[in-house]
Amino acid sequence: MAWLNTDIKSTLASLPPPSLDEFDFDAVLNPSDPSLSADHTVPADAMSLSKEIEGASEAGNLTAVRQSLAAYRQVVDRPDHHAARRSLLLAIEHEHHEIVAYLLSENIPVSHVEVKQAVSRGDRIILKLLFEHAWAINKALSWDEPPALAYAVTDEDLTAWFLTMGADPNASCMMGRTPLSSAIQYASFRVVEMLFDHGGNIEQSSLLHAAIGRENGREREQMVEYLLQKGAPVNAVLHQDDRPEAYRMHEAFGLGTPLHFAAAKGYEDILRLLVRHGAKLDIKDSCGQVALERAEMEGHEAAAQFLRDQISLMTARL
C-alpha cells in the first residue's frame, strides 16, 4: 500500500480487525421458503395473448386490442409487461391514434422509445396524447438525452408546434444537452432563431461548442459568428458553471472553452474568429491544458502555429 499516505496508514492500523461472527457460514436454503417456489415465468397463454395484442395493435383493430388485453390481464396482472409496451410502440409506428389513446388510458407505461418514435413520425395527435397523459413535454428522455423538442428541431413546422405546446428550448438532461444546443448543432438558422425568440438562453456554456460541432464548415463559421454577436460566453468552460453534475461526470476528459474545442478539431478559421472576439489563450481545461496543448496533442500543426503566434503577440504587448 505504498500509495497511501502516512496518516491514512496510521488510521487503518489503529482500526480493530473485522469481526465475522455476525455471518452464518453454515446457513442453507429453506425449501419451504415461498419465494423459492414462486413461478416467475410467463404462462404460455399469456405469450399467445401478447402476440394477439401486438398483431391487433399493428393492424389497427381496436376491438381486438381491447379483448386481448382484457384476457391477457386475467392471466398476467402486469401492465408494464413487454407485450403491452410493444403494442403501444406498434400503434405509434402505424399511427393508430385510437389504439394509442386506449392503451394510454389503460396506463400502459411510456418510455423515451415511444416518445422518440412519435417525434420521428411527426404525428402531432399522438404527441399531444403522450404529452397530455403520459410524458411531460419538458422531461428529459434519459440522463443523457434532452427533452423531445431536441429531436424535432430539424423540422421547422414541428418545432413551431412544440413551442405552441409549451416546450422549453432550455430544458436539459443531466448531461447539459438542451433543445437549443441540439438545434445549434443540427438545425437550420431559422429554427435556431425561433428558439431564441421563445426564450432560448444565450448564456448556456455549451452553445459555442455545439456550433463548432456542425459538420458543414461554412455553416459552422456562420453559426459561431452568429452566437458571438448575440453574446455567447466565449471563455466559458463547458458545463463548469451552469451544469455542475455534467462537469463532474466529464471532468476527467478535458472539458474546456470553445477555443479548446476548436483547437482539438484543428479548425483554424474558428480559432481566428474566437480570438477576434476575445477568447483567452491561457485558460486551462479540466485536465490542466491550454488550447495550444490540445492542438499539439491532436496533431493539428497549422492550428497550433496560429495559437503560438497569438501567444507571442500577447507576450510582446506586455
**Topology, domain 45-135:** 1.25.40
Count CB-CB contacts under 10 A for residue 8: 11
Give this prediction's pTM.
0.82
- The CA distance from 106 to 101, in Å, is 9
> How far apart are the C-alpha atoms of 32 and 215, rounded to whole Å?
64
CA–CA dist 110, 134 (Å, integer) = 6
CA triple 132-133-139, angle to 5 deg? 70
| Grid cell in block for residue 223 | 453559426
Extended beta strands in the chain, E state: none
- Do 120 and 150 touch, CB atoms closer than 8 A? no
Looking at the DSSP assignment, which residues form a beta bridge with residue 315? none
Question: Is residue 231 a contact partner of residue 179, using CB atoms and an 8 Å limit?
Answer: no
Tens of pLDDT along the chain (318 residues)? 444 445 545 554 665 665 556 555 565 656 666 555 555 555 667 788 889 999 999 999 999 999 999 888 888 766 555 667 899 999 999 999 999 999 999 989 899 999 999 999 999 999 999 999 999 999 999 999 999 999 999 999 999 999 999 999 999 999 999 999 999 999 999 999 999 999 999 999 999 999 999 999 999 999 999 999 999 999 999 999 988 988 999 899 999 999 999 999 999 999 999 999 999 999 999 999 999 999 999 999 999 999 999 999 988 887
